Amino acid sequence: MVGQRFAGKTVVITGGGGGLGGEYCRAFARESAQVVAVDLDHSGLDRLEKSIIEEGGHCEAQCADLCRESDVSALFERCAGSHGGVDILINNAGGDLAYNGPIEGFPVDHWDTVVNRNLKTAFLCARAAAPLMKRKRYGKIVNVSSRAARSVGWYGAVTVAYICAKLGVIGLTRHLAKELGPHGINVNCLVPSFTISGPLLQHHWDQMTGGERDSMLRATPLGRLPEMRDMANVVLFLASDESAYMTGVAVDVNGGSWMA
C-alpha cells in the first residue's frame, strides 16, 4: 500500500477483469480503496483479487452480466449490504466486435451487443448507484469513452456501433452531471486513446503495417502510445476530491492526437 487517498471509500469498477480495468483496480487498491471488481466471468477476476490481496490491498471479485438489469440491481444491493453503499463508480465495461465491411452488411445483433456492452452497462450501473450516492450526498462517477468517439478513421479497427456507443457515453456523462450535481455527485468521462492493455490490442498493433503504426505516432504530438498508468492516473484524479469542481467533463488522454 502506498497511499490513503481513497481510505474508507468503496469503488465499483466494471470490466475489472480486463487489462485497463485491472490496472484501475490495482491503482485504487494501492490508495486504500475498498475495490469491488466486476466482470462477466471469473477468468481474470480471481487472479486480480488474489494479487491485490497479496499486495495488502482490498478487492472483492463479483461476477455479473451488466447488460442485465437484475444482475446490476443485485450487485449494488450487495454493495449496500456489505459496504453501506458506493462512493465511486468506474464504468469501464465495454468492447467491440470484429467487422470490416460496409454498413449494409453490419449485423444487427453485433450492433445490439456492442451498444449494450458500452452504453447500456454504464446507464444501468449509474442508475443503480445514484440512489446510494444520493443518500450520502457524495459520489464520483467516471465513465470511459474512447478516442474513436472524437474523429472517424483515426483507428480503423473499430466499428460504427462502437463509435456510436462511445459517443453516447459522453452524452450520458453530461446528462448525469447536470441531474446529479445538486446531490453532491460528480460525473466525468475519460476519453482514452489506443492503449495496449492486453493480448487483443497487442494483436491489433502487431497486425498494423509499419506505415500505419508510424502514421499513428506521427499524428500524436507526444510521439508514443500511452501506458496503462497514464489512463489510471487520470481516473484516480477524476474519482478524487482533487477534481471536486469538475463535472460533465470529457477528459481526452491521447498525447495530443485530438484537440478540441
The set of catalytic residues is: 162
Which residue has 466482470 as its cell numbers? 39
Amino acid identity, position 131: P
Helix (H, G, I), strand (E, B) or coil at 36: strand
Q: What residues contact residue 257 under an 8 Å CB cut-off, 6+ apart?
A: 147, 154, 193, 216, 219, 220, 221
Amino acid identity, position 108: V
What is the Cα–Cα distance from 149 to 46, expressed in whole angstroms? 32
DSSP code for 222: T
Contact assessment for residue 142 and residue 238, using Cβ atoms and an 8 Å cutoff: yes
Amino acid identity, position 134: K
What is the Cα–Cα distance from 231 to 258, expressed in whole angstroms? 16
What is the Cα–Cα distance from 252 to 3, expressed in whole angstroms? 26
